Structure 1
Amino acid sequence: MVLEKGLLVSDLLDNNAMVAIVLDRNGSVLFINKTYLVILGKTEEEIVGKFIGDITPESRAIIVLKTGKAIVGYNWSINGYKMIACALPLIKNGELVGCFAYSLFMDIWDAKDLMENLMFELNMYKNEVHNLHSARYTFADIIGQAQAIQNVKNLAQKAALHPSITVLINGDSGTGKELFAHAIHKASSRSKLPFIRVNCAAIPENLLEAELFGYEEGAFTGARKSGSPGKFELANGGTIFLDEIGEMSYLMQSKLLVFLQEREFERLGGHRPIRVNVRVIAATNRNLEMMVEQNKFREDLFYRINVLRLEIPSLRDRIEDIPLLVKYLTPKININLRTNVTDITDDALGILSKYNWPGNVRELENVLERSMILADMERSSTISPNHLGFMKVKLDYPCSGSSGKLKEVLEEYEKQVITKVLEETRYNKVKTATILDIDISWLYKKIKKFGITSHNL
Structure 2
Amino acid sequence: MRLYIRRNNTMIRQNRNREKLAKYYNIFMETGEINPNVHPWVAESWRKSKEYAVKAEKFNDLTEISKEDLLALQNKHKAAMDYMQEFTTGIKDFLQEYDLCLLLLDSDCTVIRNYASPYNRLLSRKIEGANLKLENIGTFSANIAAKYKSLFWMFGPEIWLKAYHDCDTGAAPVFVCGKVAYIITVLIKDYDKLPQDAVISLLMSIKTAMEIHLKQKMSLQAQEAILDATPFAVYHILKNGDVAYANRLGASRLAGIGALDEQSKTMNLNDVVLNYKHTPIYKGFQGISCINQEATWTTQVKTYEDITTVVPIKENKNDGNEEIGSVVAVTMPIEDLRMLVAHAAGYTAKYSLDSIVGISSACNLMKERAMRAAKKDAHILLQGEPGTGKQRLAHGIHMASARVNGPLISINCGNVTPELLEQELFGARIGREISHPGKLELASGGTLLMDEIEKLPPQIAEKLAEFLHNKKIRRIGEEVERAINVRIIASSDGNLRRLCEKNLFDEKLFEIISRSIIHLPPLRSRREDIPLLTESIIAELTAQHKIGLKKLTEDAMDMLKQYDWPGNIKQLQSVIENAVFSVKSDIITADNINLMGNVRPDSKWKEDKDIFMRAWQSAGGNISRLANLLGVSRVTLYRYIKKYGIEK
State the partner residue of 1:315. 523
Q: CA deviation at 1:50?
A: 7.3
How many angstroms apart in 2 are the aligned matches of 1:132 and 1:339?
27
Contact conserved, 1:196 with 1:241, CA < 8 A, in 2? Answer: yes
Q: Does 1:388 align with 2:632?
A: no
How many angstroms apart in 2 are the aligned matches of 1:397 and 1:154?
39
Q: For residues 80 and 329 of structure 1, do their structure 2 counterparts lie closer, same or farther at Cα, with a shift above 3 Å needed?
A: farther
How many angstroms apart in 1 are the aligned matches of 2:575 and 2:414?
26
Of 554, 566, 591, the residue aligned with 1:346 is 554
Q: For residues 141 and 63 of structure 1, do their structure 2 counterparts lie closer, same or farther at Cα, with a shift above 3 Å needed?
A: farther
How many angstroms apart in 1 are the aligned matches of 2:565 and 2:426?
38
Q: For residues 330 and 199 of structure 1, do their structure 2 counterparts lie closer, same or farther at Cα, with a shift above 3 Å needed?
A: same
Q: Does 1:372 align with 2:580?
A: yes
The aligned amino acid for 2:590 is: P
State the partner residue of 1:203. 416
State the partner residue of 2:471. 263
Q: Does 1:184 align with 2:389?
A: no
The aligned amino acid for 1:353 is: K
Of 360, 365, 368, the residue aligned with 1:154 is 368
Q: CA deviation at 1:332?
A: 1.1
State the partner residue of 1:221. none
Q: CA deviation at 1:65?
A: 5.0
* Greater Cα shift, 336-345 or 315-324: 336-345
Q: CA deviation at 1:406?
A: 3.9
Greater Rg by CA? 2
Counterparts in 2 of 1:158-237, with a 5 A limit? 158-163=372-377, 165-218=378-431, 225-237=433-445
How many angstroms apart in 1 are the aligned matches of 2:326 and 2:357?
56
Q: CA deviation at 1:350?
A: 0.5
Secondary structure at the counterpart of residue 340 of structure 1: coil
Secondary structure at the counterpart of residue 280 of structure 1: strand
Contact conserved, 1:341 with 1:372, CA < 8 A, in 2? Answer: no
Secondary structure at the counterpart of residue 193 of structure 1: coil
State the partner residue of 2:541. 333
State the partner residue of 1:29. none
- 1:135-184, Cα deviation, whole Å (9 max, x unpaired): 11100111101001110110110111112x11000001110111111111
Of 238, 242, 254, the residue aligned with 2:446 is 238
State the partner residue of 2:502. 294
Q: CA deviation at 1:290?
A: 2.1
Q: CA deviation at 1:254?
A: 0.7
Contact conserved, 1:138 with 1:184, CA < 8 A, in 2? Answer: yes
Contact conserved, 1:194 with 1:238, CA < 8 A, in 2? Answer: yes
How many angstroms apart in 1 are the aligned matches of 2:334 and 2:573?
38
State the partner residue of 1:140. 354
State the partner residue of 2:220. none
The aligned amino acid for 2:380 is: V
- 1:400-445, Cα deviation, whole Å (9 max, x unpaired): xx9x99459999xxxxxxxxxxxxxxxxxxxxxxxxxxxxxxxxxx
Secondary structure at the counterpart of residue 434 of structure 2: coil
Q: For residues 304 and 90 of structure 1, do their structure 2 counterparts lie closer, same or farther at Cα, with a shift above 3 Å needed?
A: closer
The aligned amino acid for 1:161 is: K
How many angstroms apart in 1 are the aligned matches of 2:556 and 2:403?
43
Tell me the percent identity. Answer: 30
The aligned amino acid for 1:214 is: G
The aligned amino acid for 1:281 is: I
Q: For residues 385 and 82 of structure 1, do their structure 2 counterparts lie closer, same or farther at Cα, with a shift above 3 Å needed?
A: same
Query: TM-score under structure 2 normalisation?
Result: 0.44
Query: TM-score under structure 1 normalisation?
Result: 0.61
State the partner residue of 2:259. none
State the partner residue of 2:485. 277
Q: CA deviation at 1:396?
A: 12
The aligned amino acid for 1:188 is: S
Cα RMSD over matched residues?
A: 4.2
Q: For residues 269 and 396 of structure 1, do their structure 2 counterparts lie closer, same or farther at Cα, with a shift above 3 Å needed?
A: closer
Q: CA deviation at 1:236?
A: 0.9
Q: CA deviation at 1:264?
A: 1.1
The aligned amino acid for 2:419 is: N
- 1:229-282, Cα deviation, whole Å (9 max, x unpaired): 011111111111111000011111111111122111211010111111111111
How many angstroms apart in 1 are the aligned matches of 2:462 and 2:502?
16
Ranges in structure 2 where 5+ consecutive residues have no aligned partner: 1-234, 237-279, 309-323, 602-618, 620-624, 641-648
Q: CA deviation at 1:338?
A: 4.2
Q: For residues 233 and 410 of structure 1, do their structure 2 counterparts lie closer, same or farther at Cα, with a shift above 3 Å needed?
A: closer
State the partner residue of 1:43. 287
Q: Does 1:247 align with 2:455?
A: yes
Counterparts in 2 of 1:74-89, with a 5 A limit? none
Q: CA deviation at 1:336?
A: 3.8
Q: For residues 296 and 82 of structure 1, do their structure 2 counterparts lie closer, same or farther at Cα, with a shift above 3 Å needed?
A: same
Contact conserved, 2:296 with 2:306, CA < 8 A, in 1? Answer: no
How many angstroms apart in 1 are the aligned matches of 2:397 and 2:634?
53
State the partner residue of 1:74. none
- 1:24-57, Cα deviation, whole Å (9 max, x unpaired): xxxxxxxxxxxx99x9543237x57975456x99
How many angstroms apart in 1 are the aligned matches of 2:458 and 2:634?
45
- 1:46-95, Cα deviation, whole Å (9 max, x unpaired): x57975456x99xxxx67659xxxxxxxxxxxx9989997859899xxx9
Contact conserved, 1:130 with 1:194, CA < 8 A, in 2? Answer: no
The aligned amino acid for 1:168 is: L
How many angstroms apart in 2 are the aligned matches of 1:369 and 1:187?
29
The aligned amino acid for 2:589 is: S
Contact conserved, 2:295 with 2:307, CA < 8 A, in 1? Answer: no
Contact conserved, 1:341 with 1:383, CA < 8 A, in 2? Answer: no
Q: For residues 334 and 127 of structure 1, do their structure 2 counterparts lie closer, same or farther at Cα, with a shift above 3 Å needed?
A: farther
Q: For residues 180 and 203 of structure 1, do their structure 2 counterparts lie closer, same or farther at Cα, with a shift above 3 Å needed?
A: same
How many angstroms apart in 2 are the aligned matches of 1:217 and 1:406?
55
The aligned amino acid for 1:231 is: K
State the partner residue of 1:418. none
How many angstroms apart in 2 are the aligned matches of 1:261 and 1:133?
25
Q: For residues 231 and 352 of structure 1, do their structure 2 counterparts lie closer, same or farther at Cα, with a shift above 3 Å needed?
A: same
The aligned amino acid for 1:169 is: L
State the partner residue of 2:8. none
Contact conserved, 2:305 with 2:333, CA < 8 A, in 1? Answer: no
Contact conserved, 2:408 with 2:448, CA < 8 A, in 1? Answer: yes
Ranges in structure 1 where 5+ consecutive residues have no aligned partner: 1-17, 20-35, 67-78, 97-124, 219-223, 412-457
Higher relative contact order (CA 8 A, sep 6+): 1
How many angstroms apart in 2 are the aligned matches of 1:88 and 1:256?
24
Structure with higher helix content? 1
